[in-house]
A and B are shown apart, each in its own frame.
Chain A
Amino acid sequence: MMQDLLSLIFEPYIFVPLIYPGLIVAFLLLLLVIWLERKIAAKVQLRYGPLYVLKPLGGVIQLVADLLRYLFQEPIIPRATDKLAFITTPILLFATSYLPAIALPVGPNFTAIRSDLSLLLVLALSTLGPIFTLVMGWASNNKFSLIGGVREGYLVVSYEIPMFLSALSMAVLYDSLDLIEIAEAQKGMWGILLNPLAALTMLILIYMSTSKFPFEIPEAESEIVAGPYTEYSGILYGLVMGASYIKMYVLSLLFAILFLGGWNPVPSFMASDPILPGVLVFIKAFIIIFIGIFFRAVYPRFRIDQAMNIGWRLTLPMSILSIILSLLIVWLGGV
């Protein structure tokens, strides 16, 4: 019985959406990352940060306490809102943020969806979230929310194209849209060394697309209160706040697979098992997340026009150059 259950859990189509990289690990990471973000910022700012919930471990389960509070807090729904959109968007936003994870491979032989176009699938699914942020800004019937939603819209058009171009430059380089093939091709040399330009572009745009500092523009507190999330409270707010971290997690996993060699170097006898390859990808992705949350303590926030300048004037040429670079490498003999 136990054996059956265990083998059922380790079936890819259950393991991937439910455990890793899906819901459970994402959720645990969410708790850990937000705690870490606050702790790092506190360290830089000469404070303690979260401390009292489980004191011996530095308040590591602070976020569990926060989550409980969010759960029991009354979610206030203002009268003038579009109720259906107001309530459903946080849920859809959270769900669509983590949806791309199901198309991500865990190991060379372990995927929920084996597709030749898994890179495209991940990128396409990752574009769904911002639509709900926009709807949220509209549904709240608040001027600050509206401005925040519009800001998100402006940012989306400026980061999406260069981000996809820089991701696709890796597809050009490895002559495949299959993430497993791309990762396997990096056995010898990681993608970041072959095409550092694409990696840099993608890294900047991951932080922009998840509105981390210095691109924390849609929810800029001192300007527009909390942007699209202004009217949200209780667990609905918890969901929208978590969504951007989940999106960052998914994109960091993608980054690890595209540029950091995926699960390489994993010994071949362990490759069919999801544990070790999964852990390796996770560690790499975690480093990317870590850099992103560390920036909070370093950078102030850009203005929207400056961020759009970075999107269109800096990263778009960079991503086009990275495609040319990939083509050059392929022309010179490939990998």
Chain B
Amino acid sequence: MTVEERILELLIGPQHPASGHMRLVAKIDGDIVVELRPNIGYVHRSVEKLAEVKKYLHIIPLVERPSLADTTANNLAYVMALEKLLGIEAPPRAQYLRTLLAEINRIHSHLYGLGIHGVMIGSSTAYMWCFGDREPFIEIAQELTGARLTYSYIIPGGVRRDLPQGFEDRVEKVLRYLENRMKDYFDIYFNNPVTRARLEGVGVLTKEDAIKLGVTGPNLRASGVPYDVRKIEPYAAYPELDFEVVTREEGDALARVFVRIGEIQESMKIIRQVLKNIPEGPIFHEKYVKMVPPKLREYMKETGEVKFPGTFANLRVPAGEAISRVEGGRGEVVFYLISDGKSLSPYRMRMVTPSFRNVILFEHLTKGHRVADIPAIYGSLDYFPPEADR
């Protein structure tokens, strides 16, 4: 038999229990993957083109939709680019609230990723636990913003709502709950000999390759590159907060899992600091507060809910271009905005999500591994097809 005759082409997806909205075209020789090509685009919704016909404020919900589990990162990155063009900066309290939501979102995004990874290697318990324990964080995010996943909380010049009454105590309860649960996770899943056997040494990404391929997020940090936008180019309230960048040297699937766990713990630390140090003050830029009618201004003061000034409907943005980056749960989100200063929509918006930058890893990491390792590697990347397709 020649080599060609031995090779079987396996189409994994888009209708496959573990493929997600994508197709993996695998060429296998026996049980060994010779080549694997991701075929993406099944959930492409042309966010970049739609942004050119929508007004600036309407784009906020639009950019959130692709990465449903990690919406705050896109929301924040877009608004940061917009604020750079507008030349305004949100008041300190709003910056802290942005950080708070970003970290809550990071925790539940990581739990989502860990859960999916769990079921991909066959642990339905890890899946159910992660999705169950994601719930309290979604609940507190809902209390803060009014929505479970698509928050649209961050707006140019500030945030939409202030902290609710007694929020700190409820957050503390949730954090303590997850800290206790983490022990169970280690007992039954992370330190499970079968989990270890499936993940250790699987899909090793060396530091050189990680840098060369431009991957991002926990996948990069698991290969020993301490790159975290929150430290490199601090935004929101991160300059004033104390936290560590979690890195591992091994670069295998297990290291990526442990980086996520470490980041969950760091995020809990950040949330506690934010709630302790949050300054008093406005949550919306005073330039815009002035434009709100006095009656509604009263209402804003009473309820802590921001009413949009009339100018937001047709927000005019000066000509120019801006690039912003944010460290989301899955990695670095980059927004590049060009405004021509004339129209009410961006001239060009470029949105590069972490999953789109990590898609290159599929073909790189799976070569030479077994068929059963494909889901183990896929899950460890925390790859989310709609986010990559945008």
- Confirm or deny: B192 has a beta carbon within 8 angstroms of a beta carbon on chain A: yes
B134 nearest CB across to chain A (Å): 12
**Chain B residue with minimal CB distance to A45?**
B128
Residue B53 interfacial (CB < 8 Å): no
**Bound complex: CA of A223 vs CA of B121, how far in Å?**
9
Decide: B123 and A143 in contact? CB cutoff 8 A: no
Q: Which of A46, A214, A221, A300 contacts B17 (CB 8 A)?
A: A221
- When C-beta atoms are compared, the residue in chain B nearest to A216 turns out to be B122
Query: How far is it, in angstroms, between the C-alpha of A120 and the C-alpha of B136 when the chains are bound?
Result: 56
CB distance from B191 to the nearest CB of A (A): 12
- B123-150 Cβ-contact flags toward A at 8 Å (1 or 0): 1111011001000000000000000000
What residues on B are CB-neighbors of A222 within 8 Å? 17-18, 119-122, 375
Interface of chain B, main secondary structure: helix
Q: Is the CB of B31 within 8 A of A305?
A: yes
Asked if A223 and B198 make an inter-chain contact with CB atoms under 8 angstroms apart, the answer reads: no
Q: Beyond A222-B18, A222-B119, is A303–B195 a contact (Cβ under 8 Å)?
A: no
Cβ contact within 8 Å between B31 and A300: no
In whole Å, how far is A40's beta carbon from the nearest beta carbon of chain B? 11
User: Closest approach, in angstroms, between the C-beta of A143 and any C-beta of chain B?
Assistant: 6
A209 to chain B, nearest CB (A): 18
Cα–Cα, bound, A144→B24 (Å)? 14
Chain B neighbourhood of A7, CB < 8 A: none
Q: Which of B309-317, B341-349, B366-374 contacts its partner?
A: B366-374
Instruction: Please measure, in the bound complex, the distance between the C-alpha atom of A46 and the C-alpha atom of B129, giving whole angstroms.
Output: 7
Shortest Cβ distance from residue A275 to the other chain B in the assembled complex, whole angstroms: 38
Task: Report A-chain residues with C-beta under 8 Å of the C-beta of B198.
Answer: 300-303, 306
User: Is B43 close to A, CB under 8 A?
Assistant: no
Residue of A nearest to B9 (CB): A143
Complex formed: what's the CA distance from A106 to B375 in Å? 45
CB distance from B208 to the nearest CB of A (A): 27
Check A79 for interface membership: any CB of B closer than 8 A.
Answer: no
**Residues of chain A with a CB closer than 8 A to B197's CB:** 302-303, 306
Interface residues on A, range: 20 to 34
Q: How far is the CB of A137 from chain B (nearest CB, A)?
A: 13
B residues in contact with A47, CB < 8 Å: 128, 132
Residues of A within 8 A of B118 (CB): 300
Q: Assuming the A-B contacts A222-B121, A301-B121, are A143 and B8 also in contact, with contact meaning beta carbons closer than 8 angstroms in the complex? A: yes
A225 within 8 A of B: yes
From A25-33, A53-61, A291-299, give the one contacting chain B: A291-299
Q: Does B319 contact A (CB under 8 A)?
A: no
Query: When the two chains form the complex, which single residue of B16, B123, B125, B370 contacts A225, counting CB atoms closer than 8 Å?
Result: B16
Q: Decide: B128 and A300 in contact? CB cutoff 8 A.
A: no
Q: At the interface, yes or no: A147 with Cβ under 8 Å from chain B? A: yes
Which residues from A are CB-within-8-Å of B18?
A: 221-223
Cβ contacts under 8 Å, B120 to chain A: 222
Q: Is A147's CB under 8 angstroms from B371's CB? A: yes
Task: Return the contact of A223 from the options B132, B189, B372 (Cβ within 8 A).
Answer: B372
B374: chain A residues at CB < 8 Å are: 223
B211 close to chain A: CB less than 8 A: no
CB distance from A134 to the nearest CB of B (A): 16
Q: How far is the CA of A304 from the CA of B123 in the complex (A)?
A: 16
Tell whether A41 is near chain B: CB-to-CB under 8 Å: yes
CB of A67 within 8 A of chain B?
A: no
Are A296 and B124 in touch, CB under 8 angstroms?
Answer: yes
Interface, chain B (partner A; CB < 8 A): 8, 10, 16-18, 31, 118-126, 128-129, 132, 188-189, 192, 194-195, 197-198, 370-375
Query: A residues touching B (Cβ–Cβ < 8 Å)?
Result: 41, 44-47, 143-144, 147, 213-214, 216-217, 220-225, 296-306
